[in-house]
């Protein structure tokens, strides 16, 4: 398994800590991005990261609220590791009830951090379809490195948006995503585009999907989903 190169979103309002985290994770080969608030984190399309490191004690929206929003409202189930100063059981349980994958209590050592990060990434690798370079579904192969499809031995290049929509739908087959869900997840919090934009991208995807185009289905009034 190749953990290196995985994208990690660091969400913490303490500049210094962020930099320490970033420095250490980078030198381990991970790609990192920093957000100093929940709001900022939402802007960075958290669904596109492999892991989110989240401080629970943070500005107006706490890490807990952010995680809750991520899971329940945005339906993004990216792995999350909480950074918590309060090492109380209650805190920790709250975190896990909100879908955390692990937690680290401050202060923590670099070794501890990288070990947990590695473990969580490994779990999300083995347990989910995630992380493989090419993911196959029925007759469709999605090359997650080159961001393209292989259908009937043919390469079909996908643009960024197309790729992200398709991946989202393929990884969550049968689940209906409203236009808003998709906009939130893929375009991000503050990008303002018409909901119809999704429709157009769906059309384009259907064309590129060829014989499988009709598997990208619409549920009138609700949204889009994938079903072979």
Partner DNA sequence: GGTATTTGTTACTTAATTGTTACAATTTAG
Partner DNA sequence: CTAAATTGTAACAATTAAGTAACAAATACC
| Burial of 5 from C-beta contacts in 10 A (0-12 / 13-18 / 19+) | exposed
Q: Does 225 bind a copy of itself (CB under 8 A)?
A: yes
- Give the separation between CA 160 and CA 226, rounded to whole angstroms: 18
How far is residue 205's CA from residue 161's CA, in Å, rounded to a whole number?
10
Interacting partner of 192 out of a copy of itself, DNA, none (Cβ under 5 to 8 A depending on kind): DNA
Nearer of residues 13 and 40 to DNA, judged by Cβ: 40
Please enumerate in sequence order all residues whose Cβ is within 8 A of that of 146, keeping only pairs 6 or more positions apart, or say none. Answer: none
Which window, 21-29, 32-40, 133-141, 157-165, contacts DNA (CB under 7 A)? 157-165
Check residue 180 for interaction with a copy of itself (CB under 8 A).
Answer: yes
CB of residue 164 vs DNA: minimum separation in angstroms? 8
**Which range in 25-33, 65-73, 90-98, 111-119 contacts a copy of itself by CB under 8 A?**
25-33
> 202-209 contacts: CB < 8 A, separation 24 or more?
202/165, 204/162, 205/158, 205/162, 205/165, 205/166, 208/149, 208/156, 208/158, 208/162, 209/140, 209/149, 209/151, 209/156, 209/166
Question: How far is Cα 49 from Cα 7, in angstroms, rounded to an integer?
Answer: 5
The yes or no reply on residue 184 touching a copy of itself (CB under 8 A) is yes
Using the contact rule CB under 7 A, the part of the chain among 43-51, 85-93, 132-140, 203-211 near DNA is 203-211
Query: In this chain, which of 47, 63, 79, 223 binds DNA, going by CB under 7 A?
Result: 223
With CA atoms as reference, report the closest residue to 138 among 48, 50, 49, 214.
Answer: 214
Q: Is 162 in the site for DNA (CB under 7 A)?
A: yes
By CB under 8 A, name the binding residues for a copy of itself: 5, 26-27, 31, 145-147, 159-160, 174-176, 180-181, 184, 189, 219-222, 225
By CB under 7 A, name the binding residues for DNA: 157, 159-162, 187, 191-194, 196-197, 199-204, 206-207, 218-223
């Amino acid at each position: 398994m190749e953990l290196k190169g995985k994208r990690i979103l660091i969400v913490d309002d303490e500049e210094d800590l962020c930099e320490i985290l970033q420095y250490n994770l980078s030198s381990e080969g991970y790609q990192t991005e920093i957000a100093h608030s929940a709001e900022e984190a939402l802007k960075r399309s958290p669904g596109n990261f492999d892991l989110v490191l989240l401080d629970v004690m943070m500005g107006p929206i706490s890490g807990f609220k952010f995680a809750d929003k991520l899971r329940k409202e945005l339906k993004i189930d990216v792995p999350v590791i909480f950074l918590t100063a309060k090492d109380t059981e209650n805190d920790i349980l709250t975190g896990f009830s909100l879908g955390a994958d692990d937690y680290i209590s401050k202060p923590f050592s670099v070794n501890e951090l990288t070990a947990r990060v590695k473990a969580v990434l490994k779990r999300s690798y083995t347990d989910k379809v995630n992380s493989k370079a090419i993911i196959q579904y029925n007759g469709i192969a999605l090359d997650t490195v080159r961001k393209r499809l292989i259908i009937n031995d043919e390469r079909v290049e996908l643009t960024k948006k197309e790729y992200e929509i398709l991946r989202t739908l393929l990884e969550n087959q049968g689940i209906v995503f409203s236009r808003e869900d998709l906009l939130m997840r893929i375009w991000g919090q503050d990008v303002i585009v018409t909901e119809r934009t999704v429709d157009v991208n769906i059309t384009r995807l259907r064309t590129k999907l060829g014989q499988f185009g009709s598997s990208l289905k619409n549920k009138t009034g609700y949204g889009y989903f994938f079903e072979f």
